[in-house]
A and B are shown apart, each in its own frame.
Chain A
Amino acid sequence: MHDEPPVTTLDPGPKKVLGPGHDYGTVTDKISGVVYRPFERTPREMFIGFGIAFLLVNVLLVSVTWLFFRGVGIWGIMIPVAWGFAIVNFVWWIGIGHAGTFISAILLLLKQDWRTSINRFSESMTLFAVACAGMFPILHLGRPWLAYWLVPYPNTMWLWPQPRSPLIWDVFAVSTYGTVSLLFWFTGLIPDFATMRDKAPNSWAQKIFGMLALGWRGSAKHWARYQKAYLLLAGLSTPLVVSVHSVVSFDFSVSIVPGWHTTIFPPYFVAGAIYSGFAMVLTLAIPVRRWYHLEDLITMRHIECMAKVMLGTGLIVAYGYAMEAFMAWYSGNQVERYTFINRAWIGGYWWTYWILILCNILTPQLLWSKRVRLYLPAVFIISLIINIGMWLERFVIVVTSLTRDYVPSSWGMYYPTLWDWSTYAGTLGLFVSLMFLFIRGLPAISIFEMREVVHHLEHTHGD
């Protein structure tokens, strides 16, 4: 552990999920070593990255404070565009979170071997993304101190929230998602907390991890119950992948705004969520695996599989765009047609639509090529482009549809302000900071599941 190996990669190539020469011990050491590495050995990139991210967290703090002090008018929202960056960011962040649940839950149930080394990482990403997302519905309220009125609680006013409103469905969907994700994540961590407790170099680590491990001894009974619980939680999480973003899409499809009022949104949003989520996992995983030399645990097979999922969901999203365009024409409805033409040609934000097509439809087609899929810099850049594209997609949907709807006298342009950008950048900083803290403090890869992979490979004479 003292000398860094030379630049040759540890990666075993796109056909293997684990580098050669690993046994239960080395896998455990490697992963826990990331946490227990001496502070001076922390990679420089982490300091720089965390520094920038933390700076942005402070920007977020200032932005939110100013927002609460003055009011939601510091943003660029107006009439008719009463929802701007806040809702775009909310949907974007929630969407990103879906990859984690997809990887953890659905890929588990589908018994995909390549989920193992990325599932912990992406679940954490989900949690942090939901945390970032969950701020926005509160921040964007005119009177955020009364946000609790959206929650059904018995009160002296005898008032309950209005259940026909998609925003209430959001409250349930997102809080359920956050809760279940947190439970699933924590449950998955329990054996690893125990491992960390057992390998703790000092009594503080031992005590903290010990408390978190909830008394895990690793006995057969524990494991038997554990597997059942884990599967149950996976089963609970699976429908959430589809339901949460569908419900978020209802915010738009239930309303009457042309450009929002379309039935394709639920599947389109869910596919888009997984799309952007995988892109974010790649954006984070590629640098981290390099900095911490985890290439033998997160191999090119993982990268390639994720790229393939991105391509697949990207095609679904492309279908969604095509359907929107087609239905705009096929419906014969003047307002629907105009909305599309406004979005793509004559509106003030027409250029965002074409950048969107470039980012979300054209760029990922490069992933058809195996060479591109295995070329890390390309995959990294494509994942960034897709994230930008998905943000633009929500922008196009939310903002351009609102700029011009039914009555022409009310049409108006939306111009984001400095505070819109600073709040967004702030949440990016919060997300990255939390990810860095997670990597620093918790096992970023599931130790016990990697041991299972070692076991599985040994006993099936794996490739």
Chain B
Amino acid sequence: MSELSYWRSLEELSSSAEFRAFVEDEFPNRTPDWNDPRSRRRFLTLMGASVALAGASACTVQPKEVIVPYVRQPEEVVPGNPLFYATAMSKAGIATGLLVESHLGRPTKVEGNPEHPASLGATDAVMQASVLTLYDPDRSQTVTRNGAISDWGSFFTALTGARDIAGLKQGAGLRILTGAVTSPTLFSQLKEYLTACPLAKWHQYEPCGRHSVRAGAIMSFGRPINTIYRFDRADIIVSLDADFLCSGMPGGIRYAHDYSERRRAAAVDSNVRPPRLYVAEGTPSITGGMADHRFRMRTTEVEAFGFTLMHDPTSPVAKELNAHRGSSIVIAGEYQSPRVHAMAHSLNQELGNAGKTVLYTDSVEANSADELTSLSELISDMQSGKVETLLILGGNPVYDAPADSEFLDALKKVHFRVHVGTYSNETAAWCHWHVPEAHYLESWSDARAYDGTACVVQPLIAPLYDGKTPHDILNVLNNHADLSAHDTVRAYWQTQHNGKGFDDFWQTSLHDGVIPGTAFAEITPPAGKISDAPATSIAGLEIVFRPDPAVGDGAMSNNAWLQEMPKPQNKMTWDNAVWVSPKSAQSYGVSTGDMVEIELRGRKVEGPVWIMPGHADESITIHFGYGRTRAGNIADGVGFDAYAIRNSASPWVDGGVQVTRKSRGYVFATTQHTQTMEERDPFRVATFAEYHKDPQFARPEQDRVSDTHSMFPLWEYKQHKWGMSIDLAACIGCQACTMACQSENNIAVVGKEEVAKGRHMNWIRVDRYYHGSLDDPQMYFQPVPCMHCENALCELVCPVAATIHSGEGLNEMVYNRCVGTRYCSNNCPYKVRRFNFFLYSDWNTQSLYGMRNPDVTVRSRGVMEKCSYCVQRINRAKIDADKQDRPIADGEIVTACQQACPTQAIIFGDLNNPNSKVSKLKKQLRDYSLLEELDTRPRTTYLARLSNPNPELEKSE
């Protein structure tokens, strides 16, 4: 415990020797001493240090609080009933509209906004987890100056000072560094400042930005044009290393939705042509998992593949594309070379897809810039001393700038450095001023979606720690310090709205979460140019850099839910690894758990090896977002830093890499240990053709258990009969359901050690099975929530009747009755039950209290828990329907997993209603139960996966 050095109170802080050293040292925390490795789970249960250090410099006595009920209750606020507000979350600037559930003024759950084109009601795993970041106790809670606590007033003085000095020189020496910006308001503020001070410069940098997309568009069309896709209209899709399903690229949620809609329609109606997906990739992705044909090749060889596609019309894929002119899509991966993007543009135009399945708009970013160039300009200016004042608005360039750019060295030469961010991170450690940034759930702002649709970002809670938005900073620069962010955003849209009725317009936009008519118009770009030079590739071992499937580029590393989210491909948690193919592992003499040193262009990093079936040979992949040193207590010291060897010349894939084994025996924490189906068939799959010939392939006659084989009469469910259908043809394995469930049901995080022991707590898990050879297997995803068996095996063996069956078919878990014998878990053949072996829920961290869903118990030690079909939502709907004296409509009750799922793979509803969606789905002949032979009669059933392979290619495979 003596290693823990968190601050308890301002008094304690001011008197400690450490603090004094802190103050006197101009660059404190060069080697921060709260970097010690310690048991994270222990930390979570033991820490209680959440005394808010919010800005207050004088007041240290907690004021006496008096609870007073509303005299005039705000409209619609009924304690106990949640309200939903529309807002949006941005990733690299590009927004997805959300509806956020708010309980008594606290946001507790993120949902998608059905009105928003990028969401259509769904979200991804990162958006679900974002609510935890709002309440993260490690967020920066105060303005700091040289590491010491300060306040906004002092910062304001300093900033205006710097502004005025720069203003005398028309802004020379003042630089602003942001991420990618789509916010029209922010852009207008920046424009205002840059117009007033033309010698100031605005730089943009995203560590995982759309550099290739932009460069590819410029290569083809001469200017940065935005490309969006209509997967519901595509018969043939060729993905050149494009992970378009879910978070892989902007619009991913929408793309997943459209793609699955098409597949589902084809399953129901044999007249609808099922789409066929070809994926050429080196690193296994969830899009590769859905592929009907996956061409495994090194990442640098994708360019050659595209080249062949362009020039060889006899290849089977080219033939297919030609046969479906105007209804095909060729899409290039975000992290491929610009040339591959140019190839895709060229192909799409040549195939007549443009305007039909592939649409073009103006760039969504307000000022599309090559971020690598922008950053290197800034760095060279800093090096040559031209930068006196640097305002870093969000981001963490000290951590994630390419290693060869030597950002930190250059940064040290800047006279006045300001960092605005949600965490006092690696960059904040080197800046004079750090200002806490408001989380998006605390912010007024606006943003654009992947298709240009603008929406207003409205806060659900006042900033917990007086965080500021970039708008506030720009207002200071523009001499509008009296304006709040809200006023600024509103004022901007007032200028955009011609005519009367702005108030209505504003209210409607806030209510709907979409500003109508702001989607960018389609444009017809000029004919794409592409050179005929042969494709280049890297010889020898290549190294591929990717954002982590869970924590992404590292901004959300300190989010414990994301750390514990099993990565779709290998179900790994709390780590990043060096992914190697089985063959390459053999040839390089490494195996899973070996620590290897990777040397690239003179820089080294050490990481553990993970043998990844389906990975390309002679290629390794490492992921960003780990190896943090100042992220917070969750992420510090976890994993290794891939940015440390990243080069700006080849930021996504590089060659000349050396791999040397250093030691053995690194222990990973994965949630699934057996990778294949072991000759059983939990996951059933057939081709569309086979399905239409033999619709009952998933449930052959001999495996069925008849209703009459038990001597007990069947129970009649007279009122409601809840059931769930999971469509395996739709599930892409993105884990959004897992995160949604975690958020909705207050599921605890257990930490790496406990996950390694097999004690992770996720109520819905996504199993991933490999099928075929381990070099190039099929990857199948199967979400497994509680089956809510009618003949529940768990209910039979509970000695205290802590798990019982409701009259509507739910298997209910009564937490306060459970004594923890764990017999129910042993007897559950699906192993969906989770046990609190320790007190996993964090009862001490006060900032997390607000995050929890008040409708769901927070479980304590020794109690079993499992999926409840979101019984709290069922009950709420029943109460509402009862109050309004009407039946519950189909679709009124949506479980958390169902709501989050981008492909609508999970459908819940009333089986006693023959017209409900779930009833209709279960009538499909490809419906089957898991382990039907045990006669558990599960209410959760699966629709078998359907694939659409090319018969010509099948023969050769």
Q: A-side interface residues toward B, CB under 8 Å? A: 70-73, 76-83, 137, 140-144, 146-147, 149-150, 159-162, 164-168, 171, 251, 254-257, 334-335, 338, 402, 404-413, 415
Q: How far is the CA of A405 from the CA of B829 in the complex (A)?
A: 7
Nearest CB of A to B798, in Å? 6
Size class of the B contact interface (CB-based, 8 Å): 35 or more
Contacting residues, chain A, for B838 (C-beta < 8 A): 70-71, 73
Contacting residues, chain B, for A82 (C-beta < 8 A): 822, 825-826, 835
Contacting residues, chain A, for B680 (C-beta < 8 A): 334-335, 406-408
Asked if B156 is at the interface (CB within 8 A of a chain A CB), the reply is no
Asked if B823 and A408 sit within 8 Å, CB to CB, the answer is no
**The residue from B797, B818, B819, B829 contacting A406, defined by CB atoms under 8 A apart:** B829
Contacting residues, chain A, for B497 (C-beta < 8 A): none
Asked if B689 is at the interface (CB within 8 A of a chain A CB), the reply is no
Shortest 10 CB-CB contacts between residues of A and residues of B = A142-B820, A142-B862, A73-B837, A78-B758, A410-B831, A409-B767, A82-B822, A167-B799, A143-B862, A162-B801
Asked if B817 and A407 sit within 8 Å, CB to CB, the answer is no
Asked if B657 is at the interface (CB within 8 A of a chain A CB), the reply is no
Nearest CB of A to B751, in Å? 11
Asked if B827 and A255 sit within 8 Å, CB to CB, the answer is yes
Nearest CB of B to A317, in Å? 24
Nearest CB of B to A360, in Å? 24
**The residue from B676, B757, B861, B931 contacting A142, defined by CB atoms under 8 A apart:** B861
Q: How far is the CA of A83 from the CA of B782 in the complex (A)?
A: 27
Contacting residues, chain A, for B679 (C-beta < 8 A): 334, 338
Asked if B820 and A143 sit within 8 Å, CB to CB, the answer is yes
With contacts A78-B758, A149-B819, A165-B796 taken as known, whether A409 is within 8 angstroms of B837 at the C-beta atoms is: no
Q: How far is the CA of A171 from the CA of B819 in the complex (A)?
A: 14
Asked if B50 is at the interface (CB within 8 A of a chain A CB), the reply is no
Asked if A141 and B759 sit within 8 Å, CB to CB, the answer is no
20 contacts between A and B (CB under 8 A): A141-B819, A142-B818, A142-B861, A143-B863, A149-B800, A162-B801, A165-B799, A166-B797, A255-B826, A256-B829, A257-B826, A406-B680, A406-B931, A407-B682, A407-B784, A407-B829, A408-B769, A409-B682, A411-B673, A412-B758
Determine the residue in chain A with the shortest Cβ distance to B801. A162
Asked if B271 is at the interface (CB within 8 A of a chain A CB), the reply is no
Asked if B930 is at the interface (CB within 8 A of a chain A CB), the reply is yes
Contacting residues, chain B, for A161 (C-beta < 8 A): 799-801
Asked if B818 and A143 sit within 8 Å, CB to CB, the answer is yes
Q: How far is the CA of A415 from the CA of B756 in the complex (A)?
A: 11
Chain B 822-857: CB-based contact to A (< 8 A → 1; otherwise 0)? 110111011101111111000000000000000000
Contacting residues, chain B, for A76 (C-beta < 8 A): 757
Asked if B784 and A409 sit within 8 Å, CB to CB, the answer is yes
Asked if A162 and B837 sit within 8 Å, CB to CB, the answer is no
Asked if B674 and A162 sit within 8 Å, CB to CB, the answer is no
Contacting residues, chain B, for A255 (C-beta < 8 A): 793, 797, 823, 826-827
With contacts A150-B799, A255-B826, A408-B682 taken as known, whether A73 is within 8 angstroms of B819 at the C-beta atoms is: no
Asked if B864 is at the interface (CB within 8 A of a chain A CB), the reply is yes
Q: How far is the CA of A143 from the CA of B859 in the complex (A)?
A: 12
With contacts A161-B800, A408-B680 taken as known, whether A413 is within 8 angstroms of B826 at the C-beta atoms is: no
Asked if A80 and B831 sit within 8 Å, CB to CB, the answer is yes
Q: How far is the CA of A164 from the CA of B834 in the complex (A)?
A: 22
Asked if B821 and A73 sit within 8 Å, CB to CB, the answer is no
Q: How far is the CA of A338 from the CA of B677 in the complex (A)?
A: 13
**The residue from A141, A251, A412 contacting B862, defined by CB atoms under 8 A apart:** A141
Nearest CB of A to B573, in Å? 14
Q: How far is the CA of A444 from the CA of B793 in the complex (A)?
A: 47
Most buried by B among A162, A255, A335, A338: A162
Q: How far is the CA of A402 from the CA of B825 in the complex (A)?
A: 10
Asked if B861 and A408 sit within 8 Å, CB to CB, the answer is no
Asked if B864 and A142 sit within 8 Å, CB to CB, the answer is yes
Q: For window 737-759 of chain B, which residues contact chain A by CB distance below 8 Å?
A: 754, 757-759
Contacting residues, chain B, for A251 (C-beta < 8 A): 823
Asked if B769 and A71 sit within 8 Å, CB to CB, the answer is no
Nearest CB of A to B682, in Å? 6
Contacting residues, chain B, for A415 (C-beta < 8 A): 757
Asked if A78 and B759 sit within 8 Å, CB to CB, the answer is yes
- Beyond known contacts A72-B820, A254-B796, A411-B674: 14 more, CB 8 A cutoff: A71-B839, A137-B821, A142-B835, A142-B837, A143-B818, A143-B819, A143-B863, A147-B819, A150-B799, A165-B823, A168-B799, A338-B679, A408-B678, A413-B673
Asked if A412 and B673 sit within 8 Å, CB to CB, the answer is yes
Asked if A256 and B758 sit within 8 Å, CB to CB, the answer is no
Nearest CB of B to A226, in Å? 39
Determine the residue in chain A with the shortest Cβ distance to B862. A142
Determine the residue in chain A with the shortest Cβ distance to B803. A162
Asked if B934 is at the interface (CB within 8 A of a chain A CB), the reply is yes
Q: How far is the CA of A233 from the CA of B717 in the complex (A)?
A: 51
Contacting residues, chain B, for A413 (C-beta < 8 A): 673
Q: How far is the CA of A82 from the CA of B864 in the complex (A)?
A: 11
Q: How far is the CA of A164 from the CA of B801 in the complex (A)?
A: 10
Contacting residues, chain A, for B758 (C-beta < 8 A): 78-81, 412
Q: How far is the CA of A413 from the CA of B673 in the complex (A)?
A: 9
**The residue from A143, A159, A404, A407 contacting B930, defined by CB atoms under 8 A apart:** A407
Contacting residues, chain B, for A160 (C-beta < 8 A): 801
Asked if A167 and B835 sit within 8 Å, CB to CB, the answer is no
Asked if B797 and A254 sit within 8 Å, CB to CB, the answer is yes
Asked if A150 and B677 sit within 8 Å, CB to CB, the answer is no
Nearest CB of B to A172, in Å? 11
Asked if A83 and B826 sit within 8 Å, CB to CB, the answer is yes
**The residue from A71, A140, A168, A411 contacting B861, defined by CB atoms under 8 A apart:** A71
Contacting residues, chain B, for A406 (C-beta < 8 A): 680, 829-830, 931, 934
Contacting residues, chain A, for B798 (C-beta < 8 A): 162, 165
Nearest CB of B to A420, in Å? 13
**The residue from B757, B819, B829, B836 contacting A146, defined by CB atoms under 8 A apart:** B819
Asked if B672 is at the interface (CB within 8 A of a chain A CB), the reply is yes
Nearest CB of A to B758, in Å? 3
Nearest CB of B to A33, in Å? 47
Asked if A409 and B769 sit within 8 Å, CB to CB, the answer is yes
Asked if A72 and B784 sit within 8 Å, CB to CB, the answer is no
Determine the residue in chain A with the shortest Cβ distance to B804. A162
Nearest CB of B to A335, in Å? 8
Q: How far is the CA of A143 from the CA of B839 in the complex (A)?
A: 11
Nearest CB of B to A314, in Å? 29
With contacts A255-B827, A409-B784 taken as known, whether A73 is within 8 angstroms of B759 at the C-beta atoms is: yes
Determine the residue in chain B with the shortest Cβ distance to A335. B680
Asked if B800 and A162 sit within 8 Å, CB to CB, the answer is yes
Determine the residue in chain A with the shortest Cβ distance to B41. A73
Asked if B863 and A142 sit within 8 Å, CB to CB, the answer is yes
Contacting residues, chain B, for A70 (C-beta < 8 A): 838
Nearest CB of A to B133, in Å? 28
Chain B 846-886: CB-based contact to A (< 8 A → 1; otherwise 0)? 00000000000000011110000000000000000000000
Q: How far is the CA of A413 from the CA of B818 in the complex (A)?
A: 25
Asked if A150 and B682 sit within 8 Å, CB to CB, the answer is no
Nearest CB of B to A187, in Å? 32
Asked if A142 and B819 sit within 8 Å, CB to CB, the answer is yes
Asked if B797 and A402 sit within 8 Å, CB to CB, the answer is no
Most buried by A among B673, B782, B863: B673
Determine the residue in chain A with the shortest Cβ distance to B840. A73
Asked if B672 and A409 sit within 8 Å, CB to CB, the answer is yes
Asked if B827 and A256 sit within 8 Å, CB to CB, the answer is yes
With contacts A71-B837, A73-B838, A256-B827 taken as known, whether A79 is within 8 angstroms of B862 at the C-beta atoms is: no
Asked if B823 and A167 sit within 8 Å, CB to CB, the answer is yes
Asked if B673 and A257 sit within 8 Å, CB to CB, the answer is no
Contacting residues, chain A, for B837 (C-beta < 8 A): 71-73, 77-78, 142
